[in-house]
């Protein structure tokens, strides 16, 4: 897509130069208006390319993030959730084979242990998985916005190229291309805002999850 955009820019430049050679002296105002608009267009196009030069160096890895999210959800949260279900008073042999104060104390510790394991799933693994999935989606949405931006700019340059094929259409060419650039820059701004907002939320979620299990049995923390 970027190569296609570069091709459209080069095509517009070639058509403009070709049509300029046909402008009679009595229509010098056409040339003046074209030059004014062309300088503005090149400045904005430079901003657009500068943005890409900066952002394309770190595209992100939404597929890797999704894989990690699945692993946290299934390999950590799922395993722990199964353990929580397994720890049930009715399944414990202590009721049948162990009597006395020690057995009573152990029975009292079952629920806190179950809650601690549940916390690993809900406070830790689930939060991390959700955060990674959200960030993966935000990155994918961002690059979707980038694609829409490129399409918008290409459309603007295609229209501008058609206008530049005639002498009286020359002054229209730069504004037409600028309109495509404006639409592209607006799409990029939306994509960036979504990505930054999501990244901030994810950072907070991961910071909270970093504190680990929230519900430990009293005999562990005492």
What's this model's pTM, rounded to 2 decimal places? Answer: 0.72
The helix or strand, by DSSP H or E, that contains position 222, with its residue range, turns out to be none
Query: Given CA atoms 103, 108, 111, 117 in this order, what sign does their dihedral have?
Result: negative
pLDDT tens profile 126-166: 888 999 999 999 999 998 998 999 999 999 999 999 988 88
Model pLDDT for residues 192-206, shown as the tens digit of each residue: 899 999 999 998 888
- 3-class secondary-structure state, position 214: coil
Taking the domains of the chain in order of start, what are their residue ranges? Answer: 2-62+129-221
């Amino acid at each position: 897509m970027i190569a296609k955009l570069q091709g459209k820019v080069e095509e517009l430049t070639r058509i403009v130069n070709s049509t300029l050679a046909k402008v009679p002296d009595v229509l010098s105002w056409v040339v003046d208006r074209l030059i004014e608009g062309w300088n503005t267009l090149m400045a904005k196009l430079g901003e657009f390319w500068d943005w890409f030069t900066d952002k394309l160096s770190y595209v992100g890895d939404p597929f890797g993030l999704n894989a990690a999210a699945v692993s946290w959800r299934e390999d950590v949260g799922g395993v722990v959730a199964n353990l929580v279900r397994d720890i049930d008073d009715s399944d414990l042999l202590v009721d049948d084979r162990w009597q006395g104060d020690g057995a009573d104390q152990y029975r009292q510790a079952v629920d806190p242990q179950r809650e601690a394991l549940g916390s690993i799933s809900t406070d830790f693994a689930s939060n991390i998985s959700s955060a990674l999935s959200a960030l993966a989606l935000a990155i994918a949405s961002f690059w979707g916005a980038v694609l829409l931006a490129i399409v918008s700019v290409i459309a603007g340059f295609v229209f501008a190229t058609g206008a530049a094929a005639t002498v009286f259409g020359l002054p229209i060419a730069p504004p037409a291309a600028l309109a495509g650039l404006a639409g592209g820059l607006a799409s990029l701004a939306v994509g960036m805002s979504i990505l930054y907002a999501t990244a901030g939320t994810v950072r907070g979620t991961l910071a909270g999850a970093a504190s680990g299990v929230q519900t430990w049995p009293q005999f562990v923390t005492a």
